């Protein structure tokens, strides 16, 4: 067996053996990720800052039936241990769900359920840990069901804010594997009627058969490879540089990859699009309208409603490219 085939087989085996966690966020988004991806999202600086703020608010506002108020170091001892148990339980449940998914491919776990189970385990742990480590004064607890509901409602509010405002800004969230919409199913063409087949078999040819001309081989579809990701060139819409990463926007997904924009643009054919800015590469199909600005720059309106300003240095090149394209619709007219 050639080495290339062996390496491809090993790669497929590794992908099959890798744990994939499939979750549904509180905003309805379905995400598939590995334990490494999960760890990178949770330890991103945006996540850590938000989690620290939430921890301080919970520790400060938590209703404790203890009078007089205990010293600060007891608060640190109690709430630090509770937070470690909470996040450890949540991470363990998510990784365990990845093992379950290896047996049941359709398994998906909602994040609110993970939060509820983690809160329940944390409060049970506190009833054992707090009196031992912080003293008998911490042995007074509210009823478990009331405390679970109270804490869960608070955590649920923090989770909603995190999913909407914090998670999209984490560096690795854009690279998570999102489930693309299912495409249409191609139907097999119906066979010709038997009568037509019989007629074709019995009718003698009126002229000597001619040798069919060999059709020219169609070029294979053009693809680009950015790291471990691959797309057809026709699916690309926008590539934007973000520090040491590029954000690749296609016709069905958006991915953040550690890659250089110059290396990505070097793989793209000139007829697919152009680099209109030092931080932007745009597909010609992504541009729906262009309008000149008073300072000789060009304002582009993209397919998703966003706008990009083209500097004067690239304006003439872009207009020349549109003039040479055999396209009946002119974006300058809004078509």
* Mean pLDDT (the chain, rounded): 76
3-state DSSP assignment of residue 182: coil
Task: Look at residue 40 and tell me whether its pLDDT is greater than 50.
Answer: yes
pTM for the model stands at 0.48
Length of the chain, in residues: 335
Q: What percent of the chain has pLDDT over 70?
A: 72
pLDDT of residue 139: 66
Mean pLDDT of 160-172: 83
3-state DSSP assignment of residue 184: coil
Task: Look at residue 184 and tell me whether its pLDDT is greater than 50.
Answer: no
Task: Look at residue 252 and tell me whether its pLDDT is greater than 50.
Answer: yes
For the chain, domain boundaries = 18-178, 223-333
Mean pLDDT of 86-98: 92
pLDDT tier, 93 (very low <50, low <70, confident <90, very high otherwise): very high
- Cβ–Cβ < 8 Å for 20, 98: yes
Mean pLDDT of 220-236: 81
Q: How far is 267 from 123, CA to CA, in rounded Å?
A: 54
Task: Look at residue 280 and tell me whether its pLDDT is greater than 50.
Answer: yes
Tokens of 9: 């087989």
Judged on CB neighbours under 10 Å (0-12, 13-18, 19+), 207 is exposed
CATH of 223-333, one of 2.40.50.1020, 3.50.50.60, 3.40.50.1010, 3.90.226.10: 2.40.50.1020
More confident residue, 325 or 179: 325
Q: What percent of the chain has pLDDT over 90?
A: 12
More confident residue, 90 or 33: 90
Task: Look at residue 92 and tell me whether its pLDDT is greater than 90.
Answer: yes
Mean pLDDT of 137-151: 78
Give the residue among 233, 268, 216, 226 at the shortest CA–CA distance from 247. 226
């Amino acid at each position: 067996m050639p080495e290339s085939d062996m390496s491809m087989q090993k790669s497929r085996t590794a992908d099959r053996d890798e744990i994939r966690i499939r979750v549904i966020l509180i905003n309805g988004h379905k995400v598939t990720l590995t334990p490494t991806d999960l760890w990178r999202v949770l330890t991103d600086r945006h996540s850590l800052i938000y989690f620290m703020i939430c921890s301080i608010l919970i520790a400060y506002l938590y209703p404790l039936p203890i009078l007089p108020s205990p010293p600060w170091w007891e608060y640190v001892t109690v709430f630090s241990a509770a937070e470690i148990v909470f996040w450890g339980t949540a991470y363990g449940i998510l990784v365990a769900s990845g093992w379950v998914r290896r047996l049941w491919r359709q398994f998906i776990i909602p994040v609110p359920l993970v939060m509820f189970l983690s809160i329940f385990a944390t409060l049970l742990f506190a009833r054992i840990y707090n009196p031992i480590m912080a003293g008998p004064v911490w042995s007074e607890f509210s009823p478990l069901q009331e405390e679970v509901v109270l804490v869960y409602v608070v955590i649920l509010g923090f989770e909603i804010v995190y999913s909407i405002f914090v998670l999209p800004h984490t560096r690795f969230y854009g690279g998570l594997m999102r489930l693309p919409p299912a495409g249409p199913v191609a139907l097999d063409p119906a066979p010709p009627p038997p009568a037509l087949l019989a007629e074709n078999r019995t009718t003698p040819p009126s002229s000597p058969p001619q040798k069919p001309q060999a059709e020219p081989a169609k070029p294979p579809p053009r693809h680009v490879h950015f790291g471990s990701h691959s797309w057809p060139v026709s699916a690309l819409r926008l590539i934007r540089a973000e520090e040491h990463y590029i954000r690749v926007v296609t016709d069905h997904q958006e991915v953040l990859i550690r890659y250089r924009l110059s290396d990505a643009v070097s793989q793209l054919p000139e007829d697919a699009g152009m680099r209109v800015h030092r931080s932007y590469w745009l597909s010609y199909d992504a541009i729906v309208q262009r309008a000149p600005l008073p300072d000789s720059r060009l304002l582009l309106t993209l397919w998703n409603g966003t706008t990009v300003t083209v500097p004067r240095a690239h304006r003439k090149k872009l207009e020349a490219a549109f003039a040479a394209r055999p396209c009946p619709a002119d974006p300058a007219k809004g078509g």
